[in-house]
Amino acid sequence: MTTVNVILGSVREPSMGARLFQYLQKHQSELEQTTHVSLQFLKVSDYQLPAYAEPLPPMGTPDYPENLAPNANRWVTDVMNGDGILLLTPEYDYSVPGALKNAFDYLGTGVSDTPIQTISYSMGSFGGILAAMAWLPIFQVLSLVSVPRNLNLRFIQNIFTETGDLNPDLATSEQQYYADKLTATVQNIAHYAKRLQADA
């Protein structure tokens, strides 16, 4: 079965991204039924990755990723085992968060041709769009396939509660809007993951 990795890029505790992550986890069953893919939820913070300091980059390292420390090996293997990636990325100082960029520095050719889509978010009015744009050359050098229809969530603190539910203070139409947008985003990455898996 096709698997899509849902990756929470923030390592902060607590984080606004964790609310979005929890929302998707709570709706995992219905999203899987709708998309006919399996969702695997990964948190970068769970892997405790140090700054990448290997002698060679992943692409040129013999016995990669077996030569990595167990936690780094597990991170790389978990990502490589997915057929698609839905990346939940905050925006830090108009760019990508350092801990998440470092996690991607561990990835090598094992993710080549894997489709990836972003849901960027911020507590401001631009929804992390600069982070989403800054990811594009990183995806390119890793030979990831950046798919269209990325989602940018602005004022995320107003969308979700701390427990990962849609804010009940939102109008019913707004709650439905966000629920539909998130479902459509998962459907989109699932579509590309299945198509590219079939073509492999």
* CA angle 157–158–164, rounded 5-degree value: 70
d(CA 61, CA 65): 8
Banded model confidence at residue 108, pLDDT cuts 50, 70, 90: confident
Give the number of other CB atoms < 10 A from CB of residue 107: 22
Is this model's pTM higher than 0.85 or not?
yes
**Does the structure show a pLDDT above 80 at 183?**
yes
d(CA 136, CA 11): 21
**Does the structure show a pLDDT above 90 at 173?**
yes
pLDDT at 152: 98
pLDDT at 195: 93
Task: Please check whether residue 31 is in contact with residue 24, taking contact to mean a CB–CB distance below 8 angstroms.
Answer: yes
**Does the structure show a pLDDT above 70 at 200?**
no
Banded model confidence at residue 28, pLDDT cuts 50, 70, 90: very high
Banded model confidence at residue 19, pLDDT cuts 50, 70, 90: very high
- Tell me the pLDDT tens digit for each residue of 138-170: 999 999 999 999 999 999 999 999 999 999 999
Report how many helices (DSSP H) and strands (DSSP E) the chain contains, helices first: 6, 6
Mean pLDDT, range 55-80, rounded to an integer: 91
Residue 81: what residue type? N
Q: Which parts of the chain fold into alpha helices (H)? A: 16-26, 28-35, 70-80, 98-105, 129-141, 172-199
Query: Which residue in this structure is represented by tokens 């030979």?
Result: 143
Banded model confidence at residue 175, pLDDT cuts 50, 70, 90: very high
Superfamily of domain 3-199, CATH level 4:
Flavodoxin domain (3.40.50.360)
Q: Where are the domains of the chain?
A: 3-199
